[in-house]
Structure 1
Amino acid sequence: MDPSKEDKFLESLNMHSLIDFAGCILVIIGKDKKVTFINKKGCEVLEYRKEEIIGKDWFEDFLPSEVKEKVREVFEKLIKGEAQEIKYFENPVLTRRGEKRYILWHNTPLKDERGRIKGTLSTGIDITDRKKVEEKLKEAQIRAEIIANSTRDAIVITDDDGKVTFWNKAAEKIFGYAENEVIGERIYHFIVPEKYHENVKRGFEEFKKAGKGPIVEKIIEVFSLRKDKKEVPVELSLSSVNMEGKWHVVGIARDIARRKRMEEALKKYQDRLKRLHETVDFLQRCNTEDEVYKTTINEIKKVLGFDLCFLYLMEDESLVLKAASSSSTSEEVKCLLLDRDIAEKTLKEGKSIWTKDVKEFDREAAPISFISSPIDKLGVLQVVSPEAGAFTREDVELIEILTNHLTEEIKRIRLEKKLRDMAIHDPLTGTYNRYYFNEILSREIKRSKRYKYPIGFLMIDINRFKEVNDRFSHLLGDKVLKEVASLIKRNVRDTDIVVRFGGDEFLVLLLQVERKILDKIKERIKNEIKVWGKKTHLIDFPLTLAIGVSSWYPGEKRKVEEVLKEADFKMYEDKKAG
């Protein structure tokens, strides 16, 4: 399909504004590997104008060399029909400036009206920022190590009997003993836990012989005793030096209590971030908005450890509660946040609001803390604690990471639903299209054979419709088509399938309906069109419908195609009869 036809196809479905609003990248690539369509978001990511992309080879012009072959293999699978869709495929693309942007793709084959594969349709989410978050995490770890290594060290020197000969100020600070309290005393009597005394004694006896020992010239981590009898973790480096014919031990002890706390905090943050990324993967596998809402609430409690959480979405210009944690049973907590306009304020300002104590907003309120984070302009995610000071800046950052991904997943699901609906519906009348009819017919035939029920068909044609177009314009003809489609749908069940079969022809597939009922439905539709004709001001002559009826029963030798021909034949007989 050439680019101009592709554009016309998309315009006819009124997709452009929807696709650009969704915030996802959408690319259509033909079988010749050339781009035939790309939306506004895709152009922004690649930093090219649309006309600079259309017609270019996607693989040669916009992919780094190291991934071209791998991405081509995925493309070929779709083109050959070996895969119906390929989800969660990640690869970098090259921008105009040569920068790599990482995209998470959802790829499907693109088919024409006859179901032949003409190319691929790919929707993608830019996950470069997530990559940067991971790099930032690595940098934070390096900074933590630098900070830990910059602390002041205790320097202690002992003779070969373990008696202290030097004790600096840092040692006083770390261990709590003043210099005059330790000089001349054996070191293991005051900073070594008692259970290790014998081992240290034996170590000094070995050291006295040749200035060597099992931990000399090594760096180890041990627990030392402070003067207040509390144990403190230290990083200990021991070396030997011969002074005045005697071996001495030079010990450099670094208080690593802070580093240990930082390592534990960093590990906790890494674990939470890792689990949060797993949550994002779960969200990307959701197929409905309800799944996204429930998954979000469940994962917040499991991954982040927040018991009270609420998810609100905008509906009819007001916030509606869509999901809440099972422990969120306190109406007082929910009303507290909404009554004070915190949720509305969050949405209006477009940024997170959080506090360690809600008394900052209302001095009379109970001492609770909360985080209220916007889901773009779609809604608000809130977590609450009945205790003051329950949340930190780190918690806010994690919630914001989650809401950013939550935004993308809600938009993705809404876009996919719109695209699915457009693919199977006639854009003018809202009825199903012929492609969907062909898909559903084979399935219903199998069900009919299995459960032994008949299938009825109504083939409907609008009489004198050409006259409507010729006399009153095609625009008015379109209005008549929509009115007739609406009338037909009102006179059949919701489970029946109304299809726009051709220009002014409709086909109704009715399940589990006997022939005598079909005739009644036919007459009801004809009567309804008469009533409509008397009320409408669209045309100045009575509009009628030609309707052909046929039925297919399980076990009969006729093919369904013959039954459809019968309905079509009877429709033309009805048309001739006036």
Structure 2
Amino acid sequence: MLELESPQLALILNLSLFLSLSSIYFLLSPLRKTRPLLYTLSTGFLFGGVAILCMIFSIPLATGIRVDLRASVTGLGGFFCGFPSALISALISSAYRAYLGGGGAFGGIVAIFASSLLGSLFHKFFSDRLFKLNPLWLILFGVILTGINYGSALLIKPYHYGILALKLFWATFLLITPLTTLIGGLLLRIIEENIQRQKDLKQKETNLRILTNQIECGVIVLDSSGKILFSNPSGEKILKDLTPSKLLSLIPQIAQKESEIQVKNSTFQVKLTETIWDNINCFVFTFMDITERKKAEELFFSLVENSPSAIYIVKNGKFFYVNKIMEILSGYTKEELVGKDANFMIVPSDRDYFKEEVKKMLIGERTSPIEIRVQTKRGETRWCLIMTSPFVLAGEQILIGSFIDNTEKKLLELSSELYRTRILQSTHLIYQLYELKEENEIIETLSEGLKNIFDVNCEFLASEKVDQFQIKLENRSTFLYSIKNVGILKIKFLSQPEDRDYKLVELILNFTSNMIKQIRLQKELEEMALTDALTGLYNRHFLFLYLEQEVKRAQRYGRPIGFLMVDVDNMKVINDEKGHLIGDEVLKKTAQILKNSIRESDIVVRYGGDEFLVVLLEPNDNGGLQTVKERILKKVDEYNSENPHVPISLSIGSSLWDPKKGDPLYKALNEADRNMYLEKLRHYKKLSKNHVNHNDS
């Protein structure tokens, strides 16, 4: 055994063996029908030999532990070649394994014979469809082979060695065996596909010889040199007037599409097919005499061309022919129309309807013309009445359609109907605007509604400098709608509007202005109800609404809430001695200091006359509360260092509410309030002590 130390190199070498196996298998495949005994011996020795090579170039997994792909090879031998070949390959590879000896010899031989037998069982069920074998069967086969390998590993002596190998590398075995079995099986399936393809080709060749002798069309088969390999009776008649060399010269012309050629007084439609005939690459020419059909077609197209109506012919969903009147109405030339999709001129939104109605017309469920819109080359949208019916021309199914311009009559009908529709749509839009509660939603809904109703483009120009609501007609096709403190909505009609359209748009815009004013007034009232008029801070009403939501969130995620109860010291003295106006300024300055000391996610509430409450979301325990408290006191010191008219002194009490403890929230608020009064008491004691010391001195 040649011990390769690189797993990657060993795996690549084994995959190369699988590739070589499939190549030799392809060379031996012709013997399957002609010399079956030799085929059995050859494939048996082939798979047995490759199994031996897999054992020689085994894949190292760890020191003293190697794995080889012999089970995959012998199993695939039975799968694709049957029991006799599998038995031969098993005997050869097991003999070599016995020769190698060792504690795993017995298990290895068992695995070889079990894999060969398993492959033979699969061959019994899949032998007639190996060429279209589903890869999932190969994966299943590989998984079963993995189970056989697991079992053989348990037979390794000493037994604990095999068990240890399975514990360490069971996943590797489960990956390598099914994967290599799948790769090898797919390579062999490709060979089986080629074999089946050759069988089918041979059978088709035989059938072609039988059939072509019984048809009226001329069939001529030439090789690349111009040698005639076959011709039916009709083809032999054509060869009297058309030489093989002439036929070969027509190949470039015929290869692009079906070609028509003239042979004496007859017209033939020629088709060319490249194929293999008696294992030779060749060209099959099929000639159909269309002389009489061409005469009938010429008469038919002459009648269509001279018709006073616009007529078109559709084949395979594309324009095949249009007469002169159709060119005039559409604006396109015949060359521009032929070959294009037959529905390309129809307005996109009408196409599905038109297709459905044409189907009804073809099966007789509709007899009246189809009314649709089309776009001409000049960009005009025209209303048309179209009738269509099936017809057989030159042996092919086609559709013949007539085209009548109905635009003027339709526009008269639509004018009044359109305005009625716009009134209904405008009413619906006004109801939509009435239901909305946000300015941006109103502006978006307004823009979208105007686009849908009036076929306009809306462009919003943001600008807070707009100081009033105003509707201005910039020109005959453009409105400028100014929205106070927001911006300007530019409304541009894509087509020339009527005077009544202006009135409808103006009505909608006036209603929109009233709705926005009402929303702003409502928000101002709501803000006044939730904020303190003096400081601009949130009030207690807002606090309780806010805490109701935050407590639920804190309980859901187990996150604490911190509180700082803040009291302005000596507020009564300030009001009595300095006046309430100065007292109000102290309160406003205190509110400003508190707001500047917290994060955006935290809030400050005016809790009472001279009391404030700071709510801190997710503080870092009491240390976080202390940090904020120190920051507030530092900002107070900075303010006092500027020698204000009235210095500020604050008493701050803190508490932390932890939802995990299950205590009610009011306990934390009471604790913060109590701590604040304790600190206020300390301030008074300190002040009194300083006063006594001052008197003693």
The TM-score range, normalised by the shorter chain, is 0.3 to 0.5
Flag the structure with higher helix content: 2
Q: Which has the higher contact order (CA 8 A, sep 6+)?
A: 1
Larger Rg: 2
| Structure-1-length-normalised TM-score | 0.45
| Structure-2-length-normalised TM-score | 0.37
Flag the structure with higher strand content: 1
